[in-house]
Amino acid sequence: MGFIDTVKARAKANKKSIVLPEGMDVRIYEAASKCIAEDIADITIIASPAEVEANNKGFDISKATIIDPAASDKTQGYAEKLAELRKSKGMTVEQAKELLLTDYMYFACMMVKMGDADGVVSGACHSTANTLRPSLQILKTKPGSKLVSAFFLMVVPNCEYGANGTFIFADSGLEQNPDPEKLAAIAASSAESFQLLVQEEPIVAMLSHSTKGSAKHADVDKVLEATAIAKEQYPQYKIDGELQLDAAIVPSVGESKAPGSPVAGKANVLVFPDLDAGNIGYKLTQRLAKAEAYGPVTQGIAKPINDLSRGCVADDIVGVVAITAVQCTAE
């Protein structure tokens, strides 16, 4: 059974309620019909009757819940709670209600906040900022989490490296140029995510163009400092660096370049020094190695909220719904 099939089976065994707030996009209806057919989550679509009529091209969504914020009996209560949450910013109940009626991501996040849903998947036709802003305003960061970051779960075919070809690449979608403290926090969050989703021990490599002092540069120093912080603050995980990619994943190279390292040659969680490297790295792997790339999966928000690529297809959405549902089981 492949990675995503295993995740779907776990989601099916412990069904959660997932909200899809982009009822103005045809892909959402196709994905919802597939989620329902595979029984991986209870699906709620946020849409007006006109949006459903315009975008549902014959997909069977009879078992989904459709909520129109303009007609929902929850909207007023959500508006009052949202205004309370944003009181320090001067938000009134009327302004909160307007947000809920015009930006469905706010409505979806309020559903999770009020216990009416477990998680949200959005971003098919909205930017990452539009997906994350309501999440952070309403749900905040996870207790103990220092930042919100994003990773891709990569499944590389016919690959002997990582966890039978499965890796986490982080941060590949959100944090532009993390300082050492942030890089260490990304390493820890990614290790936790790997453990939850892949159900194997995370082995974390802090990547660089240098291995164990082979190059001298401020960028190398950043990774060295991040590694030291991560080892001190998160001793429960195997973390080492700085490591070049080949030293991190190829046993013979790891043994040659970093003898004695508990990580070198065995890494399955790859922490890139900045977003440029992480984003380029996942796309190279996806295109050249024909890898499956699931994400960007968000970590560090108090509840599971996940962003989609705007180029996603329905099957991508289904995969992220399943991952989000499994993240909900850890709550």
| Class in CATH terms, 3-140+302-329 | alpha beta
> Is 189:299 a contact under the CB 8 Å cutoff?
yes
In the numeric block, the tokens 């926090």 are attached to 185
Model pTM score = 0.90
Block mean pLDDT (10 aa), the chain, length 331: 90 97 95 97 97 94 96 97 93 95 96 97 89 92 89 94 96 91 96 95 96 88 96 96 95 95 97 96 94 89 91 90 94 70
User: What is the rounded CA–CA span in Å between residue 34 and residue 315?
Assistant: 8
| pLDDT (0 to 100) of residue 144 | 83
Question: What are the CA-CA distances from residue 182 to residues 10, 139, 147, 321 (Å)?
Answer: 31, 20, 7, 27
Listed by start position, the domains of the chain span 3-140+302-329, 149-288
Superfamily of the domain at 149-288: Isocitrate/Isopropylmalate dehydrogenase-like (3.40.50.10750)
Q: Is residue 58 exposed (0-12), middle (13-18) or buried (19+ Cβ within 10 Å)?
A: exposed
Residue showing tokens 């412990």: 14
Q: Are 202 and 190 in contact (CB under 8 A)?
A: yes
Taking the C-alpha atoms of residue 95 and residue 101, their distance in angstroms, rounded to an integer, is: 10
pLDDT value of residue 143: 87
Q: Which of 131, 147, 46, 158 is nearest to 312 (CA)?
A: 131
Identical topology for domains 3-140+302-329 and 149-288:
yes
| Confidence (pLDDT) at 174 | 86
**pLDDT (tens digit per residue) in 257-305:** 999 999 999 999 999 999 999 999 999 999 999 999 888 899 999 999 9
Contact 299, 112 (CB under 8 A): no
The pLDDT of residue 129 is 85
pLDDT at 309: 81
Q: From CA 191, how far away is CA 187, in angstroms rounded?
A: 6
Rounded CA-CA distance 21/45 in Å is: 6
- 306-326 pLDDT, tens digit per residue, is 988 888 899 989 999 999 999
Q: Which residues pair with 166 in a beta bridge?
A: 155, 163
| The pLDDT value given to residue 322 | 96
List alpha helices for 40-179, DSSP H: 49-55, 75-85, 93-102, 104-113, 128-138
- 175 within 8 A of 182, measured Cβ to Cβ: yes
